[in-house]
Structure 1
Amino acid sequence: MTGPERGASFSLLRLIDRLSAVFAYGAAAAVILLATSVFIDVVGRTLFSSPLTGTLEMTAYWWMPMLTLLAFGYTEQRQEHIKVTILLDALPLRMRQIVEGTFGLVATALVMALTYYAAVDALESAQVGQTTASSPPIAIWPFKFVAVVGLAMLSLQAAATAFRYFAGLLPDRQDAELDGDTL
């Protein structure tokens, strides 16, 4: 890879990493909103005998999907997803990078397919204005698009991770040696 190509590649990687961090802030905001709505519900129920209507639905259909799906890309960037490396640890570093890069490409393709099907579902849900069956009904269709955005970010980050493996940037030699020693 020549200088300009390498610079463009690394700029794109930095952009994907920054987007993952922004999405992680969205996940953090969802945690705060979840805690706030549950707090208001508990205080209202206990002190005023008037719970916050729709708390369970908001938690299940709004906040939980946001806090999980928006954090996936950031977790992938930091390589903090759970993975079993017992066989990979036995490989020489370059072979491990090739194998993990290949797995990253497979994961990217699978998550892109999942993103597509989530988008189809979100569009159908928006078309009918999907709500919960509760009274009053709570709109859930807008939050289906959070799944699409979160999965799209995960697929971008998985592709970036695969590139890093193929480019020899992951795992760091020291990290690879430490992984084998920590088992």
Structure 2
Amino acid sequence: MITRIVESLSQWVAKSALVLAALFLILMALHVTLDVGLRYFFGKSFTGTLEFVSFYYMVAVVFLPIAYVELQREHISVDVFVGRFSPPVQLAFYLFAGTLGLVYFGMLCYQSYLDAVRATVRQETAMANFTFYLWPSRWALPVGFAAMCLAILANMIKAVHQRQAL
């Protein structure tokens, strides 16, 4: 029961973050294409294209889909030595690695959450020739890291339920 709930929630969160990242990727492509087109044909460009691409689009495209990649088990892994052990030992190593991942991404989530709150309270901006708010982009990190923790937990529960490392 709990396995299904955590797995369903994790799938939904990861896919939602992936769709959001894909939308930011499409927006980035359109924004840059429009900027280049305007510059090429009319000698003008959008103000702030570099800022939007650097601080909004790229951050979302990098940090939001990491949970989906984890659920698909597509992150880089090397199991040269562990692959030679028996399945119970492999499961133990997998659970140990998952626990380390939960601690690591949990700490990243916590710290990036504190940074996002601080940036939001201060209405953080970047130096530009216009007012460019940075604080909204700060929220992509804790969201991505929290989704990653949920994905790791779901994979760990799945591994225990199947009694084998994923």
Task: Tell me whether 1:53 sits opposite 2:47 in the alignment.
Answer: yes
TM-score, normalization by structure 1: 0.85
Alpha carbons 1:71, 1:150 under 8 Å: kept: yes
Shift in Å, 1:171: 4.3
- State the alpha-carbon separation in 2 of the partners of residues 169 and 144 from structure 1: 38
> Which of 30, 33, 36 in structure 1 is aligned with 2:27?
33
- State the alpha-carbon separation in 1 of the partners of residues 2 and 31 from structure 2: 43
Structure 2: stretches of 5+ with no match in the other structure: none
Instruction: List structure 1 runs of 4+ shifted beyond 4 angstroms.
Output: 169-172
Match runs of 1:27-176 below 5 Å: 27-168=21-162, 171=165
Structure 1: stretches of 5+ with no match in the other structure: 1-6, 173-183
- More contact order relative to length (CA 8 Å, sep ≥ 6): 2
TM-score, normalization by structure 2: 0.94
The RMSD of aligned alpha carbons is: 1.4
Tell me which amino acid in the other structure corresponds to 1:138. F
**1:35-83 CA deviation, whole Å, 9 max, x = no partner?**
0110111011111111111111111110011011110000000000111
Tell me which amino acid in the other structure corresponds to 1:54. G
- State the alpha-carbon separation in 1 of the partners of residues 113 and 58 from structure 2: 18
Which is worse superposed, 71-80 or 51-60? 51-60
> Which of 2, 17, 35 in structure 2 is aligned with 1:23?
17
